[in-house]
Amino acid sequence: MIAGHVFIATSLDGYIAKLDGGIEWLLCRDDPTEDHGYNDFIKGMDGMIMGRGTYEKALTFDSWTYTVPVVVLSKSLTVDDVPRKQRGKVRILDKSPSDAMALLESEGWRNVYIDGGIIIQSFLREKLISDMVITAVPVLLGEGRRLFGSLSEEISLTHRTTRFFPSGLVQSTYAVSK
C-alpha cells in the first residue's frame, strides 16, 4: 500500500509561509548544525508530491534541492512549464490526490513525501496521509499561509514522539487515524 508522509515546519501559530510565500522567519531561526532528520526522512521516500504553489516557489531557489522524483499536481501547468534541466526529475499530473496516489502505486511507489499547505490539506481530507512530522518554530507570525485548513470531520492523531533542539525547534511525530 502506498502512504503519504508529511515533514514540515510551521510557526507556533500554524503558518508555513508568509502571505507572499516568504520563509525568512524560518531560515533565520534554523541552525544548520542541527540534524532535524530531513535527510533520514527523504531517504525513505520513493518520491514527492507538491502543488503548483510549492513548485513555483522551488523554481525560484538557486538550485534544485530535491533528491527524489517530484510529481506536481496541477490543472494548469503542462510539461512545457518544466525547465529542460528538470525533465525526468519533475512530472506534471492533472489528477486528484487519490488518482495520483493510485497511479504512483501502480508504478511501485510505496512512500510519498507530501509537501505544501494546500496539497497536505487535500491529502488529509482524502485520508491519504499516514503520518506527519511537524516542527514548530518559536515565532508568532500573525498571518500567512496556513498548514492546516477546513475538514469535513475531526481527524484524530496518535502522538509518536517529540524532541526539541537548542535552536528552539520542537518536532513532533503523529500517526493519522484512518
Question: Can residue 159 be called a binding residue for a second copy (CB under 8 A)?
Answer: yes
168 forms part of the interface with a second copy (CB under 8 A): yes
Q: How many beta carbons lie within 10 A of that of residue 176, not counting itself? A: 20
44 binds a second copy (CB under 8 A): no
Kindly state whether residue 139 participates in binding a second copy, applying the rule CB under 8 A: yes
Q: Which of 40, 62, 80, 143 touches a second copy (CB under 8 A)?
A: 143
Please tell me the count of residues contacting a second copy according to CB under 8 A.
34
Residue 157 CB, nearest approach to a second copy (Å): 4
Q: Give least dist CB 65 to a second copy, A.
A: 25
Q: Shortest distance, CB of residue 89 to a second copy, whole angstroms?
A: 32
Per-residue CA distances from 157 to 113, 129, 131, 162 (Å): 18, 11, 9, 14
Q: In whole angstroms, what separates CA 144 from the centre of its chain?
A: 16
φ/ψ of residue 52, rounded to 5: -60, -40
The verdict on 140 binding a second copy (CB under 8 A) reads yes
CA distance 142 to 133: 22
User: What are the distances in angstroms from CA 64 to CA 9, 130, 146?
Assistant: 19, 27, 24
By CB under 8 A, residue 161 contacts a second copy: yes
Q: Which stretch binds a second copy (CB under 8 A): 74-82, 94-102, 106-114, 165-173?
A: 165-173
Q: How far apart are the first and last CA of the chain?
A: 14
The SS3 assignment for 102 reads helix
SS3 of residue 143 by DSSP: coil
Cβ(178)–Cβ(127) below 8 Å: yes
Cβ 113 to a second copy shortest distance, Å: 19
Residues from 105 through 124 that contact a second copy (CB under 8 A): 124
Binding site for a second copy (CB under 8 A): 12-14, 25, 124, 134, 136, 138-143, 147-159, 161-162, 164, 168-170, 172, 174
